[in-house]
Structure 1
Amino acid sequence: MPLDGAVAAVIDGSGVLTAWTRAAAELLGYADVDVIGRPARALVAPRRPAGKPPAGAPGGRVLTLRRDDGERVDVWVRLLPLSGSAVLALGLPAKVLAEWGDHTAVARTVLTQDAWQVAFHGLDLRLRQCSPTVRRSGRVGEGGRDPLCDMPLVDGDGTGADLLRHVMETGRPVVGAAGVLRAPRPDQPDLIYSLTAAPLYDLRGDISGTFTSLVDVTARYESGRRLNLVYKASRAGDALDIRSTAEGLVETLVPTLGDLAAVEISEATLQGAEPPLRVHGLRGDFRRIAARHAHGAWPADLVQVGEILPAVPDQPGFRELERGTVLVANDRRDYLSFLGDVPQAARMIPRDLYASIGAALVARGRVLGYVQVFRTRRQYAFTGHDAKLLKEISTRAALGIDNARRYTRERRVAETLQRSLLPPVSSSTAAAETAGIYLPPRGEAGVGGDWFDAIALSSLRTALVVGDVIGHGLEASTTMARLRTAVQTLADLDLAPDELLIRLDDLVQRMAAESAHPDTLGASVLYAVYDPVTRLCRLASAGHPPPVAVHPDGTTHVIDVRPGPPLGVGGVPFEVTDVSLPEDSVLTMYSDGLLDTARRSRRDPRRPPADPEAEYAARLRAACRPGRPLRRIGEALVERARRAAERTDDVTLLLARTRAVPDDSIADWRFPPDPAAVAEAREVAVAQLTAWGLHENVFATELVVSELVTNAVRYATGDIGLRLVRDAVLVCEVTDSSESQPRLRRAHNDDEGGRGLFLVAQVTSRWGSRYDASGKTIWTEQAIGAEQVLGRD
């Protein structure tokens, strides 16, 4: 406080010091017995050039006094007469007085300057003193009330009064807090101020009020706000989704620029098609996809999100918008005039509209849509700065929307391509009932290269395939198409699973050699062949996750397929795993995207990582209830992946419920390689067909058996096998140890042979051959009449 260090002494008429204060004794260091009763002049040092009185000294003079230790101290002294001839000498160290003077000078300077607003507030927050700029700003209200106290803070909750009370309660100053000082009239914009506040102390050291400094930073704040808006508008397009970009745009504009904002996009743009170069009015081809109200729900009387804009005739203003001009209408009538004063325009304008501003979303010379901003409660006009800001924002937003449109188009093309290449989601054969599910990734990844397939093979067998091509996008989809076609072609050759993967691996290596990015070309494949006659499933894997099967009794197990390397590595053989699957077993094959989703959803630093295959098997066991349709089982298994907010990889799932041919629909025999076996084979085949009631198939089957067994006797060296299988078709198989390739050819008139297979092909619907380690099997299929199928024993 300013009187800290003040001293006093009493001097009688003869100049003798009769009393002094303890502060005086401490300042000079003398004991009372050494000073009291002695001449006061003895304490004064010899004269030296008189110094200038300290600033703020109210009269008096500066004396240099001796201390007990020989040092000297300058003290400002003023003499006050007492009764009689005695005087009271009041003193203050010159240093303390100079500091007090500086404080007084600072306060006087701050309160009289005319550059920024400075004020002192009392404990009741009323103005005690202020600079001239405060009075000119209109802040001095009735009874000293200051509008500053009602100023809402920009960077936090509360008002200016809350901030000043906080300063007085804590004694801690606040520097540079931003607040909004409301305009005195509704047609004027608010002002942004930077507020600095510090506590004031009285002479006792208690807080008696606050000191405030207010600087107008509206221009700087608006500049930063505009820069932030432009940045946010640029980031709104990062999602590569048109609706998300539009929603981000209205969130950017409201409430910063206006009270309401809406975005309309052309139907062509939403579909990913090429938007128009010119817009000749509104003809039911623009849809509102985003809207925001700063003070509640979007008004019910306005066009709603998802609704088509009303038809509006063409106006010259549309050409101005297409050229990049921002429409500013600070009067409701101006906006109605732009729309042509048509009745349907009422649904496009808020009832309490005060001012509006709008711009076309134009990118690469094409009109994508429009953005509109309205002011209702804030009743002040849009300025040229606002128009410039909206133009910058709309330009950047239009580029984001156009990028999203182009991405949407490419994604739809890729999805259409991929879905057109996938088989039907469900199928039914003699071997199995199948159901497949494919989920494309979400976000920027685009479509992937996953696929599934169920391929009908000879002798009622079915091949099941799930593959996953490395990468995403059109390149992955086209690679998938080539591989799926290759698998179907190779499967039709009746190759063993390991042999098929070897051939497929060779193809991928050739494709990589032709690619500009060979290191990114590869795939994983799981290939299985199920035989309903033997109930045997043969599987081979090229770096693919293992399948999981559920038996009819509910037991579930992960099939231990010995995996080979992914396709494209080369030089490593693949192995076949054989597993027996009883009838009504459910075999599931999937891509790693299904497990990746499970891993992310279960990610928890407090829990140890789970085994995804084991967890999937448990979920499959719970979902695979008896009699439940495969499609519903599949939906339960992919539910977590379908609901996942993040899905960076596509998800593929193939389910197959196995079937089995009854034992009484299978007949097989073994014959020695003897010509007499031909007649015997015909006899047993005819007898079996008669027993099955397949009388219409007797003649064709007798011809097939006779020709195929005759060829086997002629070229084979071991026993000959004959098998008949009755299902939706009649299958006839002849097996021998020969590896010769049967060929179908047309015999000439003078040829003695060569007509056998030609005749077989004429009386059957399909025929072919396959090979295994013991030789080859020639098979045929014949249609069975519906009445014969229904008439089975």
Structure 2
Amino acid sequence: MERRIVDDRKASPAPDDLRGVLTARATVDEHGTVTGWSEGAEQLLGYSSAQILGRPAASLLTEEPTASDLPPLSELPRWHGTLALRRRDGHRVEARVLAHHRAPDDGIHDWLLVSAVHGSQPHPDDDALMRQGLLLSPFCATSVHDTDLRIRRSNRASSGALGLSDDDLRGLRLSDVLDDPAIPEVERLMRRALETGEPQYMENHARAPGETREHAWSVHLYRLEGPDGRVLGVASTGHDMTEQYWARTRLQLIAEAGRRIGSTLDVTRTAQELADVAVPDLADFISVDLLASLADLHEEGPVIPAAAGSLALRRIAHQSVFPGSPEAVVAPGEVDEYPDGSPPVESLRSGRAVMRRVTEPAIADWVAQDPLRTSRIREFGFHSVMAVPLSARGTTLGVAVFARHRHPDPFQQDDLVLAEELAARAAVCIDNSLRYTRERGTAVTLQRSLLPQSLPEQAAVEVASRYLPAGARAGVGGDWFDVIPLSGSRVALVVGDVVGHGIHASATMGRLRTAVRTLADIDLPPDELLTHLDDLVGRLATEAEGTERRTAGDAETAGDVGATCLYAVYDPVSRHCTLARAGHPPPAVVSPDGTVELLDLPAGPPLGLGGLPFESVEIELQEGSLLALYTDGLVASRDHDIDVGISRLCLTLAGPAASLDVLCDTVLGAVLPGRPTDDVALLVARTRALDAGRVAAWEVAPDPSAVAEARKNAVARLEGWGLNDAAFITELVVSELVTNAIRHAQPPIQLRLIHDTSLICEVSDASNTAPHMRRARTYDEGGRGLLLVAQLTQRWGTRPTSSGKTIWAEQSIDPVQRPFAD
């Protein structure tokens, strides 16, 4: 495809004595064929465009040069000199010609030839123009232009920057001298200065002829007037501010790096932030690789082998000036082996940054072993690279490789210093991310190990649960839940939340969960249990304060200790649920008809304050009711008030669900819009009710003769339940427990049998004195009864009641005889 000629632009009227100035333009393709012809060229040589287009350009010369006389034009960006041309009428014309070797957008190279006909002759106004221009700025690159924007005079600095002598420049416009995208804007501002008389200023980037590096120029434009007020032209003064520009750019890039790198504690994102900052201001392509051994990183960090050999590096991030980073030969997440002597390995082993040209042997030998890298270097034209180690706190983590292919300038020493600064900032952030990831992984592992690994088997409720650790920035917290089987087929449901995040919060959670299970095992009512737990948290807080004082200045301190808790006990026999809470969100109850209600429980103070009472509330639940216990991480958010979260929870609980597990997932999806900012614990339980036919109770008279009647009633009930195999042991247990109650306790006395997943025998009385099992001596008449009960039953115990106590013993039965057996 041929390049279209850039025609002579319409110029403003020039003084009468300059009307002979015109510009001849022509374009010639790589084969020497004329492809463009301007009106000025037609006036100069007498050929119309129709007569000359498509002809060899050499036919316009008076003598066709030999091949030996021609310089290697394909290697020149620009050429200027005097050519002897032949007009159509045969006359000889000598013209000073300036030729630009161009590479247009279509990729077809051609030459633009420009000649200022008659413009190179001095004019009386030239000296006046120059004097006015030098008065404005004698120490800068100064050129003066006439009202047609043609250069009339230039000082040494200006002609040196433009690469032509003062005589060669005279009569040309800047657009004739430089083939640069910034020049049209300069000429537009020149015209504005001529028209308005207001000085104009701009900063641009242009490459001086013969140089490969762009320069930053500060350009001022002024209108020039003679003593009589006549407009003579315009002066352009340019100050080379390249070093100041790059220094300012580097400072801005460092400031940008400080703002953008390390915005999260995620290793991959931090590496990608480094890559995004470096491209395109510093490099055209960058890769960030970490040592593959970081996957097994311990506190001492990875070890780089000192001996020669390849190193395995894992690609974490890369970036390019081209979308999709087509230069990359390794995808993120992949591991590649880099041989000894390659810039990444050389940088890692020496611990110093390395700057290389692609043509150097160190790189040539490396890429010669990798055909894919060789093809990418040739395809994209890589010419220089820098490899900078990522080191922090005495540990080398990986390497960042910066490369240029689109930017024409190779890396300089200042670029290496800037790359080292960016890599140092990123390395500290990556090291912080790795340390945090290890600590958070430890905390999550600890947290999950302290939570129930599986919910215990019991028949009172059907349960499902979920636990979500907080997002990376907050860190794992101390939320927990638990399901604890109690005597009498009852079950305790617990949800708690420890203040703070991290390993200390997880450890405190484990201690509190253990304490709750211990207190639940002795069947304390919910309000009493929270009171004991409050005392424990207070003691833990006192210990933490002492630890902080002893480790003042140490980063690892225990911090504040505090917690909230909700404790509920459900009895499937009576369908009563007793609840108490310590500063915890209230539970939600969903009735079988879908009605959702937040239980109005006394809030109670958070655990650890001490001195304030807790109150229990007892409610009756219908069979099939749903009880939802949760921590505030589910409903509280920075985006909305906690009431909004509770409303979403209640609305979701009211909807249908195929199972409790599905319901838990639905609740998390509806109430949590994204990754939680705090830990979330959710426990949902659907209540069951034990059929009345599975429970038998008798009042026992406080007379020793009533023991035989109690045994008889118990055996008869076991026959009705089909539990004849358990009759012998049950008779012994009933006889012992009832006898003890008659002898040592106070009436009223009640015997109750419960046929659940096990067979439970309970004897209740009005005494608060609990029995203790002891080993009887040889001649003791008593003391062997409870020992016998303990040996014959699965477990036994005692629990306080509002009117006294209950002693119970539990026997295992065949699963096919259980009321809830599958």
Using the size of structure 2 for normalisation, the TM-score is 0.74
- Please, which of 601, 613, 618 is the counterpart of residue 639 of structure 2? 601
Matched, 1:145 2:174: yes
- 1:179 corresponds to which letter in structure 2? N
Identify the residue that residue 116 of structure 1 maps to in structure 2: 140
Aligned letter for 1:278? I
2:252 aligned partner: 228
| Distance across 1 between alignment mates of 2:672 and 2:194 | 57
Matches of 1:291 and 1:366, distance apart in 2? 22
Q: In terms of mean alpha carbon deviation, does 373-382 or 191-200 score higher? A: 191-200
In the alignment, what sits opposite 2:684?
Answer: 655
Q: Residue by residue, what CA displacement relative to the aligned partner does 1:240-271 show, whole Å, maximum 9, x if unpaired?
A: 22112111111121111111001011244356
Matching residue of 2:284: 259
Structure 1: runs of 5+ lacking an equivalent: 1-103, 604-608
> Counterparts in 2 of 1:258-277, with a 5 A limit?
258-270=283-295, 273-274=298-299, 275-277=301-303
What letter matches 1:441 in structure 2?
A: A
Residue 312 of structure 1 is matched in structure 2 by 339
Shift of the 501–707 alpha-carbon distance from structure 1 to 2, 3 Å rule, reads same
- Alignment partners' CA distance in 1, 2:482 and 2:458: 13
The residue that corresponds to 2:627 in the other structure is: 587
Matched, 1:546 2:573: no
**Partner-residue secondary structure (3-state), 2:289:** strand
2:768 is aligned with 1:768: no
Aligned residue type for 2:520: A
- Assess if the C-alpha contact under 8 Å between 2:456 and 2:485 holds in 1: no
Match among 350, 353, 356 for residue 329 of structure 1: 356
Deviations 1:647-690 (A, max 9, x none): 43222222222222222222222222222322222122111111
Report SS of the residue matched to 2:218.
Answer: strand
Given that residues 301 and 347 in structure 1 are in contact (C-alpha distance below 8 angstroms), is that contact kept between their aligned partners in structure 2?
no
| Backbone CA RMSD of aligned residues | 3.6
CA contact (8 A) 1:322 1:367 kept: no
CA distance in 1, matches of 2:574, 2:230: 99
2: distance between equivalents of 1:373 and 1:180? 23
Amino acid in the other structure paired with 1:329: R
Pair 1:713-2:742 in alignment: yes
The CA deviation at 1:162 is 7.3
Q: Classify the secondary structure of the residue corresponding to 1:389.
A: helix
Secondary structure, aligned partner of 2:568: strand
Say which is worse superposed, 546-555 or 634-643, in terms of deviation.
634-643
Q: 1:552 to 1:219 in 2, by over 3 A?
A: same
SS of residue matched to 1:309:
strand
* 2:329 match: 302
Instruction: Work out the CA distance in 1 between the residues paired with 2:428 and 2:716.
Output: 78
Per the alignment, residue 77 of structure 1 pairs with none
Quick check: 1:139–1:148 contact (8 Å CA) kept in 2? no
1:480 maps to 509
Tell me which moved more, 579-588 or 269-278: 269-278
Matched, 1:278 2:304: yes
**Residues 262 and 654 of structure 1: CA distance in aligned 2, closer, same or farther (over 3 Å):** same
Q: CA deviation at 1:321?
A: 3.4
- For residues 282-321 of structure 1, the C-alpha deviation after alignment (integer angstroms, 9 at most, x for no partner) is 7674210100011221227610111111363577984653
Partner of 2:262, secondary structure, is helix
Partner of 1:366: 395
Q: Which whole-Å CA distance do the structure 2 matches of 1:121 and 1:492 have between them?
A: 100
Counterpart code for 2:253? L
Which AA in structure 2 matches 1:601?
Answer: D
**Aligned equivalent of 2:597:** 557
Task: Supply the AA of the counterpart residue of 1:578.
Answer: E
The equivalent residue for 1:88 is: none
Do 2:756 and 2:819's aligned partners in 1 also have CA atoms closer than 8 Å? Answer: no
Matched, 1:408 2:437: yes
2:664 aligns with 634
**Identity fraction in percent:** 41
Q: Output the CA distance in 2 between the equivalents of 1:527 and 1:206.
A: 97
Rounded to whole Å, the distance in 2 between the matches of 1:491 and 1:791 is: 24
The answer to whether the 8 A contact 1:672-1:720 is kept is yes
Structure 2 letter corresponding to 1:575: E
Q: Secondary structure at the match of 2:337?
A: coil
Question: What is the one-letter code of the residue matched to 1:526?
Answer: L
- For 1:247, the aligned partner's letter is Q
Retained in 1: the 8 A contact 2:649–2:671? no
Q: Secondary structure at the match of 1:436?
A: strand
Per-residue Cα deviation, 1:402-451 (whole angstroms, up to 9, x for no partner): 12111111111111111111113655521222222222222432221211
Alignment of 1:380 with 2:409, yes or no, is: yes
Closer/same/farther in 2, CA of residues 309 and 164 from structure 1, 3 Å limit:
farther
Q: Which amino acid aligns with 2:302?
A: P
Please state if 1:619 is matched with 2:663.
no
Q: Quote how far apart the aligned CAs of 1:139 are.
A: 7.8
* Letter matched to residue 264 of structure 1: D
Tell me how far 1:746 sits from its aligned partner.
2.0
Q: Distance in 1 between matches of 2:722 and 2:189?
A: 99
Q: 1:337 to 1:144 in 2, by over 3 A?
A: closer
For residues 319 and 145 of structure 1, do their structure 2 counterparts lie closer, same or farther at Cα, with a shift above 3 Å needed? closer
Q: Which one-letter code corresponds to 2:522 in the other structure? A: L
Cα gap change, 1:635/1:434 in structure 2, threshold over 3 Å: closer, same or farther?
same
Is the Cα contact below 8 Å between 1:430 and 1:727 reproduced in 2?
yes
> For the Cα contact (< 8 Å) 1:114–1:133, is it kept in 2?
no
Distance in 2 (CA, whole Å) between partners of 1:696 and 1:201 is 125
After TM superposition, the structure 1 = structure 2 runs for residues 373-772 of structure 1, keeping only pairs within 5 Å, are: 373-424=402-453, 428-516=457-545, 520-597=560-637, 600-602=638-640, 611-622=644-655, 625-626=656-657, 628-639=658-669, 643-644=673-674, 647-772=676-801
Aligned residue pairs total 673
Report the TM-score, using the length of structure 1 for normalisation.
Answer: 0.77
- Distance in structure 2 (CA, Å) of the matches to 1:164 and 1:212: 8
Aligned counterparts of 1:505 and 1:536: Cα–Cα separation in 2:
25
In 2, Cα distance between equivalents of 1:637 and 1:182: 63
In 2, distance between residues paired with 1:662 and 1:205?
A: 115
In structure 2, what residue type is equivalent to 1:323?
A: S
User: Is contact 1:734-1:778 (8 Å) kept?
Assistant: yes
The answer to whether the 8 Å contact 1:151/1:180 transfers is no
User: How far is the alpha carbon of 1:218 from its aligned partner?
Assistant: 1.6
1:465 counterpart letter in structure 2: V
Counterpart amino acid of 1:464? L
Question: Structure 1's 260 and 499: CA in aligned 2 closer, same or farther, altered over 3 A?
Answer: same
Preserved CA contact (<8 Å) 2:147 2:233: yes
- Structure 2 counterpart of 1:249: 274
Separation (CA, whole Å) in 2 of partners of 1:421 and 1:151: 67
In the TM superposition, what is the alpha-carbon distance from 1:369 to its structure 2 partner?
Answer: 0.7
Cα gap change, 1:167 to 1:286, in 2 (>3 Å)? farther
- Which residue of structure 2 lines up, in the alignment, with residue 180 of structure 1? 205
790 and 724 in structure 1: CA distance in 2 versus 1, 3 angstrom threshold? closer
How has the CA–CA distance of structure 1 residues 657 and 376 changed in structure 2, closer, same or farther, with 3 Å as cutoff? same
Q: Which amino acid aligns with 1:589?
A: L
